[in-house]
Amino acid sequence: MEHIFTAIADPTRRQVLERLRTEGALSVKQLTAPMSVSRQAVTKHLDILQQAGLIRIERHGRERRHRLQPEPLQAVDDWLRPYAEAWDQAFTRLRQHLGENQ
């Protein structure tokens, strides 16, 4: 899971993941077009995402498209859920406390 956290720590990689989530499989050229980073930089980010298991490469003729693999992110969500629930409970108690003191 450490590779996943390292991969999603970078804002450019998060942007790539978001585009793949919303737009589906994209080529390096399509991913690079609206970004302010070079094609080479995008390729390096894609390599890190692939090593973390967050994307897979599909070949369509000579073109390579990158597709989101969301399953590893589900594992992160499962791991974080107890922490989110604890914070939700703390905020609920705080709201109740503040409501009682008004």
Question: For the residues of 26-76, what is the DSSP string, one character each?
Answer: B-HHHHHTTSSS-HHHHHHHHHHHHHTTSEEEEEETTEEEEEE--HHHHHH
Beta-carbon-side half-sphere exposure of residue 87 (alpha carbons within 13 Å): 4
Structure tokens at 22: 């919303």
pLDDT digit string (tens) for 9-66? Answer: 999 999 999 999 999 999 999 999 988 899 999 999 999 999 999 999 999 889 999 9
Please check whether residue 50 is in contact with residue 57, taking contact to mean a CB–CB distance below 8 angstroms: yes
Domains of the chain: 2-100 (1.10.10.10)
pLDDT for 101 equals: 56
pLDDT digit string (tens) for 53-100? Answer: 999 999 988 999 999 999 999 988 999 999 999 999 999 999 999 986
Which residue(s) pair with 76 in the sheet?
none
